[in-house]
Structure 1
């Protein structure tokens, strides 16, 4: 009897210890966990556009070492777009890593690398060396973005997931406002200084270690579970993937006209200083954030496809207004309108994808979304540069706006056909 009592007492002690341990574990619904995800997500906004106000000064600084003006312009713009290329390369790899080894380890390592690579322009005086740093920054962003977004999809479902994705995009937008405004002010002093903002990533590292909970995916799969996972993978919603990835790439080609081309456009239009360019881009980001936080409520009344004409319609109207602008106020108005469309875009695409794909391949699917997003950002100057000389900056914005309006009208007219193709329902 005494042995039984002792065994019972040991079980009780073990249970209490486990309960205490679970109480100390991070909780996905705790505000500390949510804040950590929001802060990590804001790093993706910082990746390129934060140093955008420095571009004209960088071009002037390196003019003495790179005498070919076209080559110089291309290399300086790569400071913004090169991370996008390496995010494109790294995102599918990040998706495989987190599906195999977990979300938290990659998020932690990528955040550390982010701070190290992002600050390259703070102390380097060689443009090629800075570009190498920007390449590593892109790999870091891929890890941060894919792991953070997949954690959200793991933690939440249904309306809670849609609301959180909207809040995530909104927080990223507000972070972008802060970083862009600060970047513009620092660029006014010296083009090196905005690169110091990337050190913010290291402040998030302790929060990730303390408050991010790794989803319970560590258990080994038996043969039946492997077969089920493979069956799910073979039943991927191809039509949804094609639409989401394709539209995301197109939208980012259009979006990156703002951080890459706008400083030069404003310089020729109103002789804008770097701080003014930073504020203009920040205004677009602010309206994007305001639109994003409303997505959760809007999604309760609208299906994914219904958002598409609204998204591309707002972007198209905004770009058309920028394209025909003759003063500062018109440009800002166009940026605000386009920003609202951009703010709804990514939450809608992310929730649509994470709701539709099987859990077993969620990391890879969201990695593909990151690839599509940043492929568009990298392709933006390549696709639009040939039109810049014959049309001018304003003409390129107007042409892009017209294309976006056509896309919006197409989805408005053929909404039923697209719905039948994807078989998506408002969830």
Structure 2
């Protein structure tokens, strides 16, 4: 099926552009209130140490959700997979309002993460199937921009709701409900590929595994900031959820604005060059965090973090579309996206011990070292993927 076969191509494109919203909302909606949630468990240290995983447990679910959803959608169809994923996201996300036991919350957030990554994986797979290369890159950028906008909305509302009750931000998991209606109305019910065709599809090769590894490390960089910036601010005496959300919104605004330019930029940049540009912005943001001692300082660092975040996810999805064959598109996209989204969980596993041992400076130093490694990896190991600007 191609775009020309659909009766409502504009509505189809708009629907696909919104498939990243659940992932953005799932990752961002609790970030401004994490310190407040942690403080609410002050009388229970065993639970308090687990609080960060309420937010980033989403990433653990994404590790499994994206590749499973990709493989399943190759067989049962993109539309049905997307509808089920959206229903699960809204149901298990809002259920956090009623649960206080931290391990149960983490388990529910893992289910939310699996559903969120399934939505995004199906969306990227549809982009590759229904749109040309140039239109696909533009739509990937629009997807990232829409995700950023909804992330901004989620952060703003989370800060305001969190000032009333630390449990109220869980209701923000209902934000993707309009996408469910759009999916029912506009996503074509494409017949799944025959099982034999899928089984004989392209196997994963060295380039796939390199990109999966690279995508995971990019996820650590990408998702570490929404988790740790509020704690860095608290260390400097800025512990108000509204001020936390203001800084995170600044980061998301710049990310959304620059993400919208990914399509035109990709026409002039290679995949490797776009990654290097993103990592350079991240390095500048890290240096800003090291010297930030006030709200204004954190806002300045957030600008560079937003510039960094803008192209990482779109560039990964462009690379995934280039590497995927028609027979295993959902699987390849799912594995690469799942690895990236799992960075929200892995970042805490890697950074939390460093942060607890050495504070903000040590944590930021570790992220700077990771960014330097990713720049070298971009230039040396993945330069042949999309080596022509805008091309394959």
User: Do they fold alike, i.e. is TM over 0.5?
Assistant: yes
Cα deviation, residue 113, structure 1 = 0.9
Cα deviation, residue 109, structure 1 = 0.7
Change (3 A) 1:340 1:423: closer
Change (3 A) 1:243 1:293: farther
Residues 1:52 and 2:31 are matched in the alignment: yes
After TM superposition, the structure 1 = structure 2 runs for residues 4-23 of structure 1, keeping only pairs within 5 Å, are none
Higher helix share: 1
Residues 1:419 and 2:374 are matched in the alignment: no
Match of 1:313 in 2: 280
Q: Which of these two proteins has the greater Rg computed from alpha carbons?
A: 1
- Kept in 2, the 8 Å contact 1:325–1:394? The answer is no
- List per-residue Cα deviations over 1:159-181 (Å, max 9, x = no partner): 10011101110111111111111
- Kept in 2, the 8 Å contact 1:91–1:146? The answer is yes
Cα deviation, residue 95, structure 1 = 1.2
- Taking the aligned partners of 1:231 and 1:131, their CA distance within structure 2 comes to 38
- Kept in 2, the 8 Å contact 1:165–1:351? The answer is yes
Match of 1:253 in 2: 220
- Kept in 2, the 8 Å contact 1:288–1:340? The answer is yes
- Kept in 2, the 8 Å contact 1:286–1:339? The answer is yes
Higher relative contact order (CA 8 A, sep 6+): 2
Residues 1:301 and 2:268 are matched in the alignment: yes
After TM superposition, the structure 1 = structure 2 runs for residues 262-411 of structure 1, keeping only pairs within 5 Å, are 262-408=229-375, 411=378
Q: Which moved more, 1:286-295 or 1:387-396?
A: 387-396
- List per-residue Cα deviations over 1:259-285 (Å, max 9, x = no partner): 222222212213230011112112111
- Taking the aligned partners of 1:142 and 1:322, their CA distance within structure 2 comes to 29
- Taking the aligned partners of 1:407 and 1:129, their CA distance within structure 2 comes to 35
Q: Which moved more, 1:297-306 or 1:108-117?
A: 297-306
Cα deviation, residue 50, structure 1 = 0.6
Cα deviation, residue 72, structure 1 = 3.3
- Taking the aligned partners of 1:403 and 1:44, their CA distance within structure 2 comes to 24
Change (3 A) 1:103 1:309: same
Change (3 A) 1:172 1:390: same
- Aligned-pair RMSD on alpha carbons? 2.4
TM-score for the superposition, normalised by structure 2: 0.91
Change (3 A) 1:188 1:374: same
- Kept in 1, the 8 Å contact 2:15–2:182? The answer is yes
Match of 1:107 in 2: 82
Cα deviation, residue 209, structure 1 = 0.7
Match of 1:76 in 2: 51
Please list every run of 5 or more consecutive structure 1 residues that lacks an aligned counterpart in the other structure.
1-22
What is the DSSP-based 3-state SS (H/G/I as helix, E as strand, rest coil) of the residue aligned with 2:298? helix
- Kept in 1, the 8 Å contact 2:219–2:344? The answer is yes
Cα deviation, residue 257, structure 1 = 2.3
- Taking the aligned partners of 1:219 and 1:387, their CA distance within structure 2 comes to 47
Match of 2:21 in 1: 42
